[in-house]
Amino acid sequence: MSAALLYAVTGLGLFSLGFYALIVQPHLLRKILALNIMGSGVFLVLTALARRAPGGMPDPVPHAMVITGIVVAVAATALALVLLRRVVETTGQARLPDPDSE
């Protein structure tokens, strides 16, 4: 198994794990963490796809996209945490309402 394939499989696993947690967890902070895990999975897949051929030079464009994505992810996480804090101040809880209880 090559390193690129290992990165791609690990990235897909992280994305799947984050997607599952995003759907299952009602707590908003856990949803934010799940989105970050999904983003990390995408970054790993992009890094794995940057390799063109065995022994060849890697493509710099996916690496630049990953670096840009990390910056955007940090900013989006900060915004989500501010919004989470506002929701907690307004409603007193950091959970989504249960649709079955209505």
> 22-47 pLDDT, tens per residue?
999 999 999 999 999 999 999 999 98
DSSP 8-state symbol, 56:
S
Q: What CA–CA distance (Å, rounded) separates 6 from 24? A: 27
Please tell me whether the overall predicted TM-score, pTM, comes out greater than 0.85 for this model: no
Q: Is 44 exposed, middle or buried (0-12, 13-18, 19+ CB in 10 A)?
A: buried
Please determine, for residue 52, whether its predicted confidence score (pLDDT) is greater than 70: no
| CA triple 70-2-63, angle to 5 deg | 25
